[in-house]
Chain A
């Protein structure tokens, strides 16, 4: 096996392990930390896929900003653990069935068919370098980029309105 495939498999193992760790952990803080580990591994995948800019954004935005916000709220509410047992009843069988189907699909993709559908990743040079990304972002995707500003404005106003205690009361 090539080195890159071995690295991939090790990282994939870490990613799946940390995802499982996140969903089974009772303590929300540990769950958040597992998720950060997961995001960091995915950032390395982005580097392997020739997307350095996205990898950096992944670390700063996801693992940094978003997860810090999560940890902050968990600590603020003192909601590390639920008082009642944390398990769903009727959803469990449905969920497990769903997961089994998807994992079978994954195994099928790796070992079986899908070969002709999904080509090997071809060696494309510099597809994801920040310059080509920025050129495309500010030319072709200029309008969506502007809409992001509207979206973030709405989210910001909303988050403030909802958390701000009413001044009249």
Chain B
């Protein structure tokens, strides 16, 4: 059997990589994809814990996280399209017309 700590470690690494993507990339679509990667690492952790406790609620959590992610992505991409229409760019620095 694979020890639980392996899964925890893997999800921590994936989460860290997602955070790295969010903090270093300027392309808003890639930032958004990195956020999905972070969510995914949380999901992996949930399922691993669900298995170790023998409790399905962790899997149900993942099910709901997927619904939330779908809603967030739909709205987020719509807003990206709206911003793109105004600014013709998806670079986060150029988008930030509002002073930081």
Partner-B contacts on A (CB < 8 A): 2, 4-5, 8, 12, 15-16, 19-20, 22-23, 28, 31-32, 35, 38-39, 42, 45-46, 48-51, 53-54, 57-58, 61-62, 65-66, 69-70, 73-74, 76-77, 79, 82-84, 86-88, 91-92, 94-96, 98-99, 102-103, 105-107, 109-110, 114-115, 118-124, 127-128, 132-133, 136-137, 140-141, 144, 148, 151-152, 154-156, 158-160, 162-163
Contacts and interface: CB of A to CB of B under 8 A. Distances in A.
Given A110-B5, A163-B82, A152 B52 contact: no
15 contacts: A5-B6, A23-B30, A28-B29, A79-B84, A86-B25, A86-B26, A91-B23, A91-B24, A105-B9, A109-B12, A110-B9, A118-B5, A120-B3, A124-B54, A158-B74
Given A45-B7, A82-B91, A121-B1, A128 B56 contact: yes
Contacts of B94: 84
**A interface majority secondary structure:** helix
In this complex, the interface size class of chain B, counting residues with CB under 8 Å from chain A, is 35 or more
